[in-house]
Amino acid sequence: MSILIKNGRIITATDDYTADIFVEGETISTIGNNLKMEADTVIDASGKLVIPGGIDPHVHLEMPFMGAFSSDNYETGTLAALHGGTTTVIDFVIQSQGKSLYQALREWQGRANGNVFCDYAFHIAVTDFNPQTQLEIKDLIEQEGISSFKTFMAYKGALMIDDRQMVGLMNEVKKHGGMVTVHATNGDIIDYLVAKNKAAGNLTPLYHYLSQPEITETEATGRFIDMAFQTDSNAYIVHVTCEGALNKVREANKRNQKIFAETCIQYLVLDASVYERGFESAKWVMSPPIREKKDQKALWAAINQGIVQTLATDHCPFMWDDKLKGKDDFTKIPNGAPGIEHRMELIFSEGVNKGKISLNKMVDITAASSAKIFGMFPKKGTIAVGSDADIVIFNPDTKHTLSATTHHHHCDYSAYEGHEVTGKAETVVLRGSVAIDKGSVKIQKGYGEFIKRSKLTNII
């Protein structure tokens, strides 16, 4: 099969030019002006942006968490991703404490295999680092192509590891060419504040927000960075939300560390006023919580300064019935919100259209940097001869309104209900096949491939 994409404005993390793209099989074979090849499909991209398929480096599909499963499974979640122009997602396999990493991997593979629409990879969350777990790291990197390991500094008793485990893991992962990533918030301070609020009868979703103040993220981010310094490791911080944490990354840069930071679209476009809506605020109960306007300003600046390299969603939707479990106690509200479909259009609409970031920066944070940091570049994350033909033809003028009535998430509410955006993924090509065309799905479930990633020793 072949596709000829004509006259599009091609944007990569570094380039911006008009040309034609010829796709043969799964990869891009030629880029040039006035290409005359015969093709099975010809797409006129005049007036459109032609950008690399998005990579969302942080999603939770069908994840067992806080007494429920995140409501998008591999089928619905990856289809929603494609509708929004994201062609690769990195999901988290989560070890159960007391069990092995491979047991968790097999469980996650069992849910994903044959059900995935877009391409995908796994990080593995290590929740119990011990002499047995230690032995599994090498094979996971070298045999399975899973080179990044997530850790939690919060959610004590379920996911959290202590600092001794953290440095042990960092040393082992580094030895085999992988990288440790972290949910950096101080679990003990949060647990203390949660208990204090509960004792005082403060049980509404607002107290989820008030139990995780900025300092809990700032402190843990700094401590994690110090552990990376001590072990001489590169490291990555997921869902950075606030000015204090960003300043810790700045300090790390000053002492010549290589610390990567991710933020998520919700932290750029929503502010803490979402917690002033009574129990409706449960829609935005996530960890860390949505922050202040001053943090949004700091995040946009950090993107432009290269302090934040990647943009994710932390997509982790729960049905409203599951959120209702916390009607009388915010600690029972499953943490997480939907967003996998909206990342690309929101960053274009709120970032590029409003003059906050350039188009090149948009491609960098939505695709190129994740591919580089997580060992998938140049197969993914760019438009170049030999790269996978993961291409989005993006209409910069399409206006639409985000809503649970039109989104493709399997979730009965939207975190962005009524939000008006300009720009939309119109045609999405995944490995040389048109996957989505003007809202119609053109591929079958199971088309998505697992991406084995390389070691992360010589990344950007």
Q: Under the rule (CB under 5 A), what is the footprint of Zn ion? A: 183, 314
Restricted to residues 154-183, the positions that interact with ligand URP (CB under 6 A) are 183
| From ligand URP, Zn ion, none, interface partner of 323 (C-beta below 5 to 8 A by class) | none
Query: ∠434-435-439 over CA atoms, to 5°?
Result: 110
Our CB check for ligand URP shows the closer of 287 and 382 to be: 287
Count how many Cα atoms sit within 13 Å of the Cα of residue 157 in the half-sphere of its side chain: 3
Q: How many residues bind ligand URP (CB under 6 A)?
A: 8
Asked if 245 is part of the footprint of ligand URP (rule: CB under 6 A), the reply reads no
| From ligand URP, Zn ion, none, interface partner of 286 (C-beta below 5 to 8 A by class) | ligand URP
Is the backbone of residue 38 left (phi > 0), alpha (psi -120 to 50) or beta? beta
Q: Find the residue with minimal CB distance to ligand URP.
A: 335
Burial class (CB in 10 A: 0-12, 13-18, 19+), 99: middle
The CA-atom distances, in angstroms, between 225 and each of 179, 236, 370 are 13, 9, 20
Beta bridge partners of 436: 428, 441
Cβ of residue 63: shortest distance to ligand URP, in angstroms? 7
What is the Cα–Cα distance from 118 to 90, expressed in whole angstroms?
A: 11
Asked if 314 is part of the footprint of ligand URP (rule: CB under 6 A), the reply reads yes
Our CB check for ligand URP shows the closer of 286 and 456 to be: 286
What is the Cα–Cα distance from 271 to 84, expressed in whole angstroms?
A: 23
Cα–Cα nearest to 285, from 263, 318, 240: 318
Asked if 124 contacts 93 with a C-beta cutoff of 8 angstroms, the reply is yes
Asked if 247 contacts 214 with a C-beta cutoff of 8 angstroms, the reply is no
What six digits make up the tokens of 371? 């591919």
Our CB check for ligand URP shows the closer of 173 and 238 to be: 238
Our CB check for Zn ion shows the closer of 286 and 357 to be: 286
Strands 49-52 and 391-401: antiparallel
Q: Pick from 151, 212, 335, 433: which binds ligand URP (CB under 6 A)?
A: 335
Our CB check for Zn ion shows the closer of 296 and 313 to be: 313
Q: 349: which residues sit within 8 A by CB, 6+ positions away? A: 421, 422, 423
Q: How far is CA 4 from the centre of its chain?
A: 30
With H, G, I as helix, E, B as strand and everything else as coil, classify residue 96: coil
Amino acid at site 131 = P
| From ligand URP, Zn ion, none, interface partner of 248 (C-beta below 5 to 8 A by class) | none
Asked if 336 is part of the footprint of ligand URP (rule: CB under 6 A), the reply reads yes
Cβ of residue 269: shortest distance to ligand URP, in angstroms? 16
Our CB check for ligand URP shows the closer of 60 and 408 to be: 60
Asked if 316 is part of the footprint of ligand URP (rule: CB under 6 A), the reply reads yes
What is the Cα–Cα distance from 2 to 26, expressed in whole angstroms?
A: 9
Q: What is the pattern of x (binds ligand URP, CB under 6 A) and - over residues 267-306?
A: -------------------xx-------------------
| From ligand URP, Zn ion, none, interface partner of 336 (C-beta below 5 to 8 A by class) | ligand URP
Our CB check for ligand URP shows the closer of 314 and 390 to be: 314
Cβ of residue 64: shortest distance to ligand URP, in angstroms? 11
Asked if 60 is part of the footprint of ligand URP (rule: CB under 6 A), the reply reads yes
Cβ of residue 287: shortest distance to ligand URP, in angstroms? 4
Q: What DSSP string describes 120-176?
A: EEEEEE-S---HHHHHHHHHHHHTT---EEEEESSSTTTTB--HHHHHHHHHHHHHT
| From ligand URP, Zn ion, none, interface partner of 335 (C-beta below 5 to 8 A by class) | ligand URP
Q: Kind and range of the H or E element at 360?
A: helix 359-363
Asked if 208 is part of the footprint of ligand URP (rule: CB under 6 A), the reply reads no
Q: What is the pattern of x (binds ligand URP, CB under 6 A) and - over residues 357-396?
A: ----------------------------------------
Q: What is the pattern of x (binds ligand URP, CB under 6 A) and - over residues 82-121?
A: ----------------------------------------
Q: Which residues bind ligand URP (CB under 6 A)?
A: 60, 183, 286-287, 314, 316, 335-336
